[in-house]
Structure 1
Amino acid sequence: MTLKVGTILEGTVVNITNFGAFVDVSGKTGLVHISEVSDTYVKDIRQHLKEKDKVKVKVISVDDNGKISLSIKQAMPKKSARPIEVDWQSERVKASGTSFEERLAKFLKESEERIQDIKHREGKRYGTLAKK
């Protein structure tokens, strides 16, 4: 049986090393790199896997030499992300009593004043240095 990239299969862990686990899939052995074991950081792979464990793996790649790269974390079902409830009329905005447009205009005015102040100071600095 040829392994196709993207296929999810069940395999058996046959060997564990510091950098990953070798998994037998359909009579062929592939590597699950330590970074492909879990969605979280894995310091010690032996805390996640043991030899002879049955695991679901996804075929990531098969190179020309026959090396098979596998992933356990990509074979896991995706957790559905629930939309975050946002209160667009937060208490801070309600308490301020100002609209977005008013706050934006205030920000732009203050920003322009700061820029003019910086330009004024820089002009003085370089004007003074040029005279020396």
Structure 2
Amino acid sequence: MTLMAGNILEGTVVNITSFGAFVEIEGKTGLVHISEVADSFVKDIRQHLNEQDKVRVKVISIDDNGKISLSIKQANVQKKSVKPMEIDWSSETKKGGPNSGNFEDIMSRFLKDSEERMQDVKKNQDFKSKNGRRSF
């Protein structure tokens, strides 16, 4: 198998540094940056990997100079089937919550609440303008 971005391969950790791990795949060595080791924050890479460990890696990229970027966390991502959440809208309206009723009722309540809030804001602004602002 030729090395191409997107391939998932088995490799061997050959060296560990403070910034990542070098992994040998198909006779070539690539770097797994410390940020690509695990989904959680990795402070010390040696808590996750040891030299000679066999790991699954995903080839992220191969640049023009032949440097290979690898990822362990992307290789281990399991595709989850996402099932849409089912909502029983009829039970929501029966509860008598803020969204119960038809659209006109909901809109009427919204406009009433909005108008009351605007009146409060205007009263507060009028009060401030009549009394002047304090300087500290």
Q: Confirm or deny that 1:107 pairs with 2:133.
A: no
What residue identity is the alignment partner of 2:116?
A: E
What is the CA-CA distance between 1:27 and the residue it aligns to? 1.2
What is the CA-CA distance between 1:2 and the residue it aligns to? 5.2
What residue identity is the alignment partner of 1:44?
A: D
Q: Confirm or deny that 1:51 pairs with 2:51.
A: yes
What is the CA-CA distance between 1:125 and the residue it aligns to? 3.5
In 2, distance between residues paired with 1:104 and 1:39?
Answer: 44
In 2, distance between residues paired with 1:4 and 1:122?
Answer: 65
**Structure 2 unaligned residues grouped into runs of 5+:** none
Q: What value does the CA root-mean-square deviation take over the aligned residues?
A: 2.8
In 2, distance between residues paired with 1:94 and 1:127?
Answer: 47
Report the structure, 1 or 2, having the larger helix content: 1
DSSP-derived class of the 1:6 partner = coil
What residue identity is the alignment partner of 1:69?
A: S
In 2, distance between residues paired with 1:52 and 1:77?
Answer: 22
What residue identity is the alignment partner of 1:26?
A: E
- CA-to-partner distance for each residue in 1:39-66, whole Å, 9 max, x for gaps? 2222222122111111111111112222
Task: State the identity %.
Answer: 58
- CA-to-partner distance for each residue in 1:41-92, whole Å, 9 max, x for gaps? 2222212211111111111111222211100111124241443645445977
**Structure 1 unaligned residues grouped into runs of 5+:** none
What residue identity is the alignment partner of 2:117?
A: R
- CA-to-partner distance for each residue in 1:3-33, whole Å, 9 max, x for gaps? 2111111110001122211101111111101
Q: Confirm or deny that 1:21 pairs with 2:24.
A: no
In 1, distance between residues paired with 2:43 and 2:111?
Answer: 49
Partner residue, 1:41 = 41
Of stretches 103-112 and 11-20 in structure 1, the one that deviates more from structure 2 is 103-112
Give the TM-score normalised by structure 1: 0.77
What is the CA-CA distance between 1:128 and the residue it aligns to? 6.2
Q: Work out the number of aligned pairs and report it.
A: 130
Of stretches 14-23 and 102-111 in structure 1, the one that deviates more from structure 2 is 102-111
What is the CA-CA distance between 1:117 and the residue it aligns to? 2.7
